[in-house]
Amino acid sequence: MKSQSIETKIDIYTPEELSVEIRGLADSAQYAATTSYSPYSDFKVGAALLLADGSVFAASNQENAAYPSGLCAERVAMFYANAQQPLTPVTAIVIAAYTNGKFKETPITPCGACRQVLLETELRFGNEIDIYLWGTKEIYHIRGVRQLLPLCFAKESLS
Ligand code: THU
């Protein structure tokens, strides 16, 4: 038997340590959270994407009375950006969550389905996406979706 471990590297920043560009993207993610349609969970999530041409696409989670028909903020934002600009790589994403009357102090992490969708975009354009999981006290920075989805299923797995 052989064993192997896989490590995920996370850089943890305070809000003050973020670059101006990422602070701006975090503002967009926080604003997007206010547009959440989440009457069932009352959990508001905003995701803001930065594209290689500098454009920003932000969106929020959209729920449904038939629960599985709703969609997370990350996927709404990613599909929106890819549909609007199918040739422009996505370079960064900031995710922010609001519940119980305030933004979360420690970040949330994307669900498995969203990780898979983020990975597809990363592989499609061939560039790593900088992931910023935003909280009011600390921000986790992860370089590349593969860090969040080791042993992933991707195009090569189909051959
Ligand atoms: N949600 C997101 O939008 N993104 C995440 O990363 C985690 C969960 C949404 C889905 C649902 O509308 C609500 O938050 C509660 O799970």
Q: Would you state the pLDDT for residue 98?
A: 98
Residue 18 lies in a domain: yes
Spell out, as residue ranges, where the chain has pLDDT lower than 50: none
The CA-atom distances, in angstroms, between 129 and each of 38, 91, 124 are: 27, 5, 11
Long-range contacts (CB closer than 8 Å, 24 or more residues apart) made by 28-31? 28/56, 28/58, 28/94, 29/58, 29/94, 29/95, 29/96, 29/134, 30/96, 30/98, 30/103, 30/134, 31/58
Question: Is residue 99 lining ligand 1, measured as CB closer than 6 Å?
Answer: no
Residue 158 lies in a domain: no
Residue 67 lies in a domain: yes
Counted domains in the chain: 1
Q: Would you state the pLDDT for residue 58?
A: 98
Question: Is residue 107 lining ligand 1, measured as CB closer than 6 Å?
Answer: no
- pLDDT digit string (tens) for 58-95? 999 999 999 999 999 999 999 999 999 999 999 999 99
Contact predicate 123/90, CB 8 Å: no
Q: Would you state the pLDDT for residue 123?
A: 96
Question: Is residue 89 lining ligand 1, measured as CB closer than 6 Å?
Answer: no
Ligand 1 pocket: which of 41, 49, 95 to mutate (most atoms within 8 A of CB): 41
- Domain at 30, CATH number: 3.40.140.10
* Sequence-distant (≥ 6) Cβ neighbours of residue 114 within 8 angstroms: 72, 74, 75, 78
35 C-beta neighbours (distance < 10 Å), count: 14
| Structural domain of 61 | 11-149
